[in-house]
Structure 1
Amino acid sequence: MVEPQRLLWLFFSFSGRIDRRVFALAGVLLYLIRAYPIYRMVMANDDEATIAFWFGIFALIFGVLILSHLALCAKRLHDCGYSGWWGLLFLVADIFFFLLLCLPKGMPGPNQYGPRTNSPGTRE
């Protein structure tokens, strides 16, 4: 079982590093969560109340999910030795930037963003 503190770090902290596998799995999970309300709106068959309800749910979770994606991007960029600020490109090219960050290997050993991959960093 994953500790809640590790999940909070993974999805909401901008410090530390994560490898390709963790980045890809966590990112796909966030995309699936984001897609579910959209799926429900599409399946509502013109029922305006249902569409409005699921749009409200989508609007509520969208900001949290974007923040989580940005945190994942920052940690993945840290693993490759880059500043997390480059993660703001995610806001422009969402899925393309996600796929791009799934490709490169991280830097072996410690770097300025943390001692090892998949762990909190030493600085923000």
Structure 2
Amino acid sequence: MNGQTGFGELFLSANGRASRLPSTLAAAALLTLAALYEAAVEDPIPRLLTGVVVYPVLIYCGACVLSKRLHDRGRSGWWAALILVSIIACWPHPIGFFDFLFFLVLVWAGVELAVMPGEPGANRYGPNPLRPLAPA
């Protein structure tokens, strides 16, 4: 293995690290899927019935993607919970004062996870995903 994370592992495992580009693409894909689902299922009753399956899957995959990216930045994956709560609170648009605070969390997360590079070397979560491991 060369240290690169496959998309299956990115969406289904919170262990290890993931670089900016795959994480950003994965997060954008999950948000797009959520928006498409809500556009396709407009009636409240079918959304309630199917949302019991769809939303937990999206949240789990989002937690895995966010955790891996947070690990790459040297942060605990538990910060993903705050980011996911902020997304849920602001979805589809912020309304009140607390939503504004959650929006600020999302701005921080955007800068921290999509703009800032990962730690250059190995950290406690694993090797740098951009540097291939030396052949054994």
TM-score range, shorter chain: 0.7 to 0.9
Structure 1 CA distance, aligned partners of 2:85 and 2:73? 20
Q: Percent identity?
A: 31
The TM-score with structure 2 as length reference comes to: 0.68
- How far is the alpha carbon of 1:69 from its aligned partner? 0.7
1:63 and 2:56 are equivalent in the alignment: yes
Alignment-derived partner of residue 36 in structure 1: 36
Question: Which consecutive residues of structure 2, in runs of 5 or more, have no partner in the other structure?
Answer: 91-105, 132-136
TM-score by length of 1: 0.73
Partner of 1:107: 119
5+ long unaligned stretches in structure 1: 43-47, 120-124
1:83-122 to structure 2, matched below 5 A, reads: 83-94=76-87, 96=106, 98-100=109-111, 101-117=113-129
Counterparts of 2:32 and 2:65 in 1: how far apart (Å)?
15
Kindly tell me the number of residue pairs found equivalent between the two proteins: 108
Kindly provide the amino acid, as one letter, of the partner of residue 67 in structure 1.
Y
Range 109-118 or range 26-35, more displaced: 109-118
Q: Quote the RMSD (CA, aligned, Å).
A: 2.4
**Cα distance in 1 for residues equivalent to 2:31 and 2:109:** 10
